[in-house]
Structure 1
């Protein structure tokens, strides 16, 4: 991360966390109707692995899109391309520079788009309370929200999304592409309060996590008995192999437009609890 990007992320953290404290928990909403649901839960609970997505999988067509500006002079463009070639150990860009700079500009645009398609992304939410998150990402409240530990350190590798009205643009430089703009979304999406993991060239691959980062799971208000059984069995199997225990919660709809949450405390007993 270059100094400009580091400063940008620091500023974004101040915007999203004005108190100076990052959220202690992050939530991943998952649909129980997905054919990959049981596999995803198995990999996460028993093997501490999450599967990264591609921007091509997203419901927001503007996500991970930004305008790309090139240097004004050919000399600066050559220096940028030489910097990229040096870091990537490839001479392809340099050969193109020697032949036709317009080809280079076109080639860089195509390569940027391809690189963004291959970016591995894992989106999480700062809150489990918003009904629309359950509706859009957890099968209309039939799915689950997995809870991950978070905090002030970067062991989890998630950074907050910056929400803004203006379409993002960045300039290609000697230090590479403005990939921090993969953490920008339109203001209409700010209710999601998203944090994101992004890994180059890792779309549709698995990312290993420290088992202690997994905290618990919340069943949606309309979760089926089958979903409950799947989650409960995996929690028991996880404990049997010596991994850190998980907390089990249930969302409920009561006489308000807000969700209520209950924690499983043994047998058939649940007690009401506050979740962020």
Structure 2
């Protein structure tokens, strides 16, 4: 759940984004569209022991209910009866199969991201086309309308290592497929430590439809910030679009700090 009161959506200034503001929608993103190649990648073992196999089967069965638990017991007993050579072959084949199944599972959810940091120059450089874009500051509880309005925000964890499958299956006793306490959920809200400047929060859509647009709640839009290199004309265009949606929005232009020795930004009313 988000502890951040205001979350920011960074956007480049282009026709597509202007059209989305006029029509009042954001997009959920597919995993494959995200900019981190390590997104959703689990740490898998190179080989699996019989104990690992039992733990994995038990872990999966808890995700799928009583019927799967009965199937799990049968699967464990069947492998237990095999010779050592046959057992190793079965375990290696099962490891390959599980890798593929979990890859598909982890690619299923759609993601909507926002940030708790408006004043980091890297965010403006990376997500606002070199400081020529803008960002929208929303009340985190009022950013969306429709079925996803009340979905939880998940704060990203920044780590030096990927989520370890073996550690998870031996250590997690009550997984749930849509719970970020299990290895699937953890993988979706864990990124490498060098992304920590983003201070990212996410909403996850576990049952995506073909339509990945989500309606903006303009009453929750509290402020708009413009990048250092945004033209006056672009500022007026954004203000004319959003002023109709919510006349109480505050508008700021990002500025180099005049009062301290940091490399973070200040902001000035426009």
TM (norm. structure 2) is 0.69
Determine if the alignment matches structure 1 residue 24 to structure 2 residue 14. no
Contact 1:219–1:251 (CA under 8 A) maintained in structure 2: yes
Determine if the alignment matches structure 1 residue 263 to structure 2 residue 269. yes
Larger-Rg structure: 2
The CA distance in 1 between the partners of 2:56 and 2:163, in whole Å, is: 21
Unpaired runs of at least 5, structure 2:
80-89, 142-148
Once superposed, what is the RMSD of the aligned Cα atoms?
A: 3.6
1:230–1:111: structure 2 CA closer, same or farther, 3 Å change rule?
A: farther
Secondary structure in 2 matching 1:36: helix
2:123 aligns with one of 133, 137, 140: 133
Unpaired runs of at least 5, structure 1:
1-8, 14-21, 265-276
Contact 1:161–1:193 (CA under 8 A) maintained in structure 2: yes
Contact 2:218–2:245 (CA under 8 A) maintained in structure 1: no
The CA distance in 2 between the partners of 1:63 and 1:28, in whole Å, is: 20
> Bigger CA drift: 111-120 or 249-258?
249-258
Number of aligned residues: 230
Any residues of structure 2 matched to 1:28-39 within 5 Å, and which?
28-33=9-14, 35-39=15-19
Contact 2:39–2:187 (CA under 8 A) maintained in structure 1: no
> Bigger CA drift: 140-149 or 167-176?
167-176
Residue 250 of structure 1 is matched in structure 2 by 253
The CA distance in 1 between the partners of 2:29 and 2:204, in whole Å, is: 9
Contact 1:156–1:213 (CA under 8 A) maintained in structure 2: no
1:111–1:155: structure 2 CA closer, same or farther, 3 Å change rule?
A: same
Alpha-carbon displacement from aligned partner over 1:46-94 (angstroms, at most 9, x marks no partner): x3x421112222222123322256883555444444444449x99xx98
Any residues of structure 2 matched to 1:141-180 within 5 Å, and which?
141-150=131-140, 155=150, 157-170=152-165, 171-172=168-169, 175=175, 176=177, 178=183, 179-180=185-186
Determine if the alignment matches structure 1 residue 41 to structure 2 residue 17. no
